[in-house]
Structures are given as C-alpha cells and as structure tokens.
A = this chain, B = another copy of it.
C-alpha cells in the first residue's frame, strides 16, 4: 500500500458518509461524476457542460477520481479513437447519491430552476422524478436529443433507463435545449418548446410522467 504523498485532508471518521465525502466531496467532483453517468465523455465536452469549472480543476478532479477507482480513461472505439473518461461500474453506482441530493434540494426555497442545465442533468432528473404509478405498464423506446447529445431511452414495466446514442426503433424522438425540456416537463410550459418526431401522443405521455417534490413549507 502506497502512502498518499500529499496527505489529503481526511475526516478521520469511520462513518461511511464521511468516507464518501472524502471520495466525492470536493468542489465539482460530484458534478463531474454526474456528467459521466450516461457514458464516456471527452474533456472539453465535460468542461462545456460544467460552466465555471477551470481546466485546472477539471484535470485535478478527473485525476483524483481515476486514482480512487471511480473513473477510468478510455480510448473511444474507431473511427473516433480519441481519449475520453468514463465512470467505472462502482462509479455508476453513485447515481442514487445524486438522486437523493437532487430530490432533497429540489424542495429548497432557494432552488432556482431557471439556471442553465446540462443534458445529462435533465436525463438523470427523469430517472429521479418519474412517478412510478404513471409509468406502470408502459413499454416504450424513444430518443432524446439536446444539441449534439443524443440519448436512447427505454421504459419497460415502469423502469426507465437511458444511454448515449440513437435508436432506429424509437417510437418517438424529442428534441430541444435542456432548459426547454425542463420548462415543459417541470415548469408546465407548452409542449411546443420541444420538437417531437414520431408518435406525438406517446411523446406527450412521456413528458407527463415526471413531477418535482413540493417546496418546503408548501
């Protein structure tokens, strides 16, 4: 076992949550991991979806996450053949942390949903905020496209899953900026803010599967 050269600040606390904070608790770390939850990403793609992060800090965070076994560097398959970062299996298992954090904070009076939001954030929010009773029994394949980021979604017996990429068998595809998805799904904005291709009724049904928790005091 190698001695950590720069003895990272620890909590000296056996509590699992304390160790979790040692692994993921530095500024930006969980948000970097969030962006990796749906598949490998390149450095500049991460940077552009994490507004305000500096190249230096992103480099550091990726290196730390790699050292801790949460993230690994990969070479994307040909023809791309470029370097990227992806979450390890264990890294992907951190999704419930982000979900609980998001679910809890969505009740905050100080939460401002009008801020910019990344494509991955929106997709992950669907997994968090889905109302199981509304999704029960539905079986769908569809596409979500935001800018140049494409995702395939599947709804199978109430379970909702996503991955990067496209699906030829999609029943519908919804396109729009992440902010517009947020406005339509959570803000009650008209559906015209997003573009729907294919089965419009099924797409509309999909866009109605989600709900935010009530604000504190409401």
Residues of A whose CB lies within 8 Å of any CB of B are 9, 11-25, 27, 30-31, 34, 50-52, 68-69, 90, 93-94, 96-118, 121, 124-125, 128, 179, 182, 216
Contact = CB atoms under 8 A, between A and B. Distances in A.
Contacts of A100: 96-97, 99-100
Contacts of A103: 16, 96
Residue among A19, A69, A104 facing the most chain B CB atoms (10 A cut-off):
A104
Contacts of A104: 16, 20, 90, 93-94, 96-97
A16 B210 CA distance: 14
Contacts of A113: 14
Contacts of A116: 12-14
A111 B17 contact: no
The 8 closest A-B CB pairs, nearest first, are: A16-B102, A20-B105, A20-B101, A15-B121, A14-B115, A14-B117, A19-B105, A17-B102
Given A20-B104, A21-B30, 16 more contacts: A12-B115, A13-B31, A13-B118, A14-B121, A15-B124, A16-B104, A16-B128, A17-B30, A17-B98, A19-B102, A19-B111, A20-B105, A23-B105, A94-B104, A97-B97, A100-B100
